[in-house]
Structure 1
Amino acid sequence: MKVAYCILGTFSSGGIERVLVNKANALVKRGVEVFIITTDQNGRKSFYPLDENVQCYDLNINYLSRRNRFYWQKAYHFWNNIRLHKKRLAHLLKHLHVDITVSVNGFETSWLPDIHDGSKKILEFHVARSTLNFLQRPGLPGLFDRYLNHKMFSAIDRYDRFIILTEEDAKNWKEYKNVEVIPNAKTFEYNSPMALLEQKRVISVGHYTRRKGFERMIRAWSLVHKEIPDWTLHIIGEGEERQRLQQQIEESGLHDSVFLNGTSSDVKNEYLKSSIFVMTSYYEGLPMVILEAESLGVPVVSFACPSGPRDIITDGEDGFLVPNGNIELLAAKLIELMKDKDKRKEMGQKAFINSNRFTEERIMEKWMDLFNRLTNK
């Protein structure tokens, strides 16, 4: 069987890139011939290690290279890039003779089903439907975002399958008959919990962007720090919000308590050194960071944002779900776990057990079953 994935690039450290690379590596181990087709790779290495048997093709479209032009220039180059993208992708797919072509909601989303190369078409959606309005930019760019969303909605029912990540989000797509839920697989797999949960250290992981809500986390930590000043919060990541977040930390008097650690080449060790994981995102798809924390036995305190946390965490058993935006309650739940080591360890054990619902073996069985059903193999 041959499967092709279409994505902007694999050079970034983002969650979608990590999921795709893990999936591609798992598929080739199962005898699937996997192709990753990019538009903006430009010779850069994949951020996450790819199996040498995964075959990569870059179409050299370079959507990102046009970001600093005037609006009329951006529009011209965007539509020219779309034209080139359609032509080059259609030519390559017909050359490769793949059985399945998958879009991870890139620029090809609205027209990929129109390429008649004989392959079945799948669309993967990695954010919740309810977050689309949040993603729209203000002003003229927002009009363009709404146009792209309209084109995407119009294309969904022309795909052979539309894959979303959570049962929570499935309720929002009832008008489409081709929807299936396949969550992402967890990154780490062990036979027992690894984290000792002894250190007075809370961790969070993610890009320093608005969607991650780290400013809400810092506000909550101000309340935590007043009651338990000897614990520290470490935020692993990087991004455009670093300076603003650092300023908030300084202005809140938390410079010796909250640390922006930057990215880590050994994120597993960052979890293992910690006793609690916290997430304050405004929205997610299926947050891999929660799965990573739970798979190492680290209990989680998270806002119940759309979507994902509700599909993973059982409130009060393997972690705490807090109504989205309730800063005071988030702080209270953190304090509760920080003060009660026995509860931390009990929740950590249950978190580890819970994470086994998302093993690579179980998730890849779902994908292989779908591929076989679509191709009658």
Structure 2
Amino acid sequence: MKISFLLHNGYGIGGTIKTTFNLAEALAERHDVEIISVFRHRKVPNFPLDERVRMRHLVDLRTEKEHPRHVRPARVFPASEYRYPQYSELTDERIEECLASLTSDVVIGTRPGLNVHLALQGPRSAVRIGQEHLTLKTHPPALRNELRRAYPRLDGITTVTEADAEAYRTRMRLPGVRLMALPNSIPEPSIPPADGDARIVVAAGRLVRSKRHELLVRAFARVVAERPDWQLRIYGNGDQEEPLRELINELGLYNNAFLMGKATPMDGEWVKASIATVTSSFEPFGMTIVEAMRSGLPVVSTDCEYGPAEIIRDGEDGRLVPVGDEEALAGALLDLIRDDALRHRMRAAALENSRRYDPVPVVAQAEALFEELLERKRSMRGRLRFRVPAPAHVAHTVRDLAMAAAITTVRGLRKVRR
């Protein structure tokens, strides 16, 4: 199969980029795979990419940032989408031209705005799949309405959790669209896993309010009161760095809690610890949870929507605690700190259970979906051959008018908003 991914910016840093690279590399074992990056802003990608996967870009921000059409607002990319300010008349044009030129068997969009482009402009001969890396619940109402109009034109939609797939089934009218949960894949680390003996708890992620690192610092103060020989290391950067530093000093944790900055990749840092923790108020999936487990760490996480409860088996390979409960978080950490045997049992279970997120089983699910939708498309073409065809000029006119109407509707909505 020839498979194309349409990605916002393959030269940046983020979970969607990383999981797209992981899936593309795994698929490249048996298929012809390319990544089409709408934007490029640097010479080489931040994440390494297997040479078997081709990557090309549509707009080079190093030379085209001031392009006359790039300063005019986009009319196809949804205005209600988070990334809308970065899109333009130029991206509308380049994406449409790119999609029209594709000869791929499968084309995969990786965010809502690009999925809308794919639905309206993607090649009808290809299986068109929209990936959702966030959740339906987090999309603003205006975006959900746009997706209700565009998504029925797709062949399939994948979400990263079953809970979100169910939300699409029950809250969106998508007749004929195949809905499936396809989790993010994480390759096995190239270094040996943690041995479970280090007196270190580690957290990783952007230092932003939704990650609730201040809750973790306060909970860890309770841990230190009983076990002052343990450390907390927090990796990442963001606008909460200084408030967190002030809180650490205020609580007298400057010898126990450390802000480590950003580390990419994290493999070498996970294995220095014995426990990982996630304190988010919301996690669409939980890449860091799987990464930590694949490195041999039991994970103590808040039981937030949507990902943690689908990844962690509470009491077996980690612990789930109520969102915002400082006491419960400290208690779960102390349970693992006090009991070496429990920690080692959970460590072994984390290694074993996290194998379901290896690229091999995830790719098998993806390939099965692609084959199912390709067969469905072939079957539909076969049925259409037995119908009396309309004259070619009529068929073309109907198809062209339908496409023009869809795009005109989207553009009209933009004007009304403005």
Query: Considering the TM-score relative to the shorter chain, is it more than 0.5?
Result: yes
Measure how far apart 1:61 and its partner are: 7.2
**What SS does the corresponding residue of 2:39 show, helix, strand or coil?**
coil
**Structure 1 counterpart of 2:218:** 219
**Structure 2 counterpart of 1:87:** 93
Q: Of residues 156, 159, 168 in structure 2, which corresponds to 1:161? A: 156
Measure how far apart 1:272 and its partner are: 1.0
**Structure 2 counterpart of 1:13:** 13
Correspondence 1:278 to 2:284 = no
Paired residues in the alignment total: 355
Q: Output the CA distance in 2 between the equivalents of 1:275 and 1:57.
A: 40
Identity within the alignment, %: 31
- Change over 3 Å in CA distance of 1:256–1:152 after alignment to 2: farther
- Change over 3 Å in CA distance of 1:75–1:172 after alignment to 2: farther
Q: So what's the TM-score if we normalise by structure 1?
A: 0.87
Q: Is the 8 A contact 1:211 1:281 kept in 2?
A: yes
Q: Output the CA distance in 2 between the equivalents of 1:27 and 1:102.
A: 13
Q: Output the CA distance in 2 between the equivalents of 1:95 and 1:174.
A: 32
Measure how far apart 1:107 and its partner are: 2.9
Q: Greater CA deviation, 344-353 or 84-93? A: 84-93
**Structure 1 counterpart of 2:119:** 113
**What SS does the corresponding residue of 1:350 show, helix, strand or coil?**
helix
Q: Is the 8 A contact 1:7 1:106 kept in 2?
A: no
Q: Of residues 77, 82, 88 in structure 1, which corresponds to 2:73? A: 77
Q: Is the 8 A contact 2:158 2:165 kept in 1?
A: no
Q: Which runs of 5+ in 2 are unaligned?
A: 77-86, 379-418
Measure how far apart 1:190 and its partner are: 7.9
Measure how far apart 1:306 and its partner are: 0.8
- Change over 3 Å in CA distance of 1:260–1:153 after alignment to 2: farther
Q: Is the 8 A contact 2:106 2:128 kept in 1?
A: yes
**What SS does the corresponding residue of 1:297 show, helix, strand or coil?**
coil
**What SS does the corresponding residue of 2:49 show, helix, strand or coil?**
coil
**Structure 1 counterpart of 2:241:** 242
**Structure 1 counterpart of 2:399:** none
Q: Greater CA deviation, 208-217 or 231-240? A: 208-217
Correspondence 1:308 to 2:307 = yes
**Structure 2 counterpart of 1:42:** 41
Measure how far apart 1:121 and its partner are: 1.2
**What SS does the corresponding residue of 1:77 show, helix, strand or coil?**
coil
Q: Greater CA deviation, 327-336 or 110-119? A: 110-119
Q: Which runs of 5+ in 1 are unaligned?
A: 67-73, 133-144
For 1:52, the aligned partner's letter is E
Correspondence 1:97 to 2:97 = no
Measure how far apart 1:13 and its partner are: 2.6
Q: Is the 8 A contact 1:286 1:309 kept in 2?
A: yes
Q: Output the CA distance in 1 between the equivalents of 2:48 and 2:190.
A: 20
Q: Greater CA deviation, 298-307 or 103-112? A: 103-112
Q: Is the 8 A contact 2:99 2:122 kept in 1?
A: no
Q: Is the 8 A contact 2:22 2:186 kept in 1?
A: no
Q: So what's the TM-score if we normalise by structure 2?
A: 0.79
- Please provide the CA RMSD for this pair: 2.5
1:189-268 paired onto structure 2 within 5 Å: 194-268=193-267
1:118-129 paired onto structure 2 within 5 Å: 118-129=125-136
Q: Is the 8 A contact 1:187 1:291 kept in 2?
A: no
Q: Is the 8 A contact 2:162 2:180 kept in 1?
A: no
**Structure 2 counterpart of 1:135:** none
What does the per-residue CA deviation read over 1:268-308, in whole Å, with 9 as the maximum and x for residues that have no partner? 12111101000011211221111111122211100011111
- Change over 3 Å in CA distance of 1:229–1:35 after alignment to 2: same
**Structure 1 counterpart of 2:52:** 53
Q: Is the 8 A contact 2:72 2:88 kept in 1?
A: no
**What SS does the corresponding residue of 1:121 show, helix, strand or coil?**
strand
Q: Output the CA distance in 1 between the equivalents of 2:149 and 2:221.
A: 46
Measure how far apart 1:79 and its partner are: 4.4
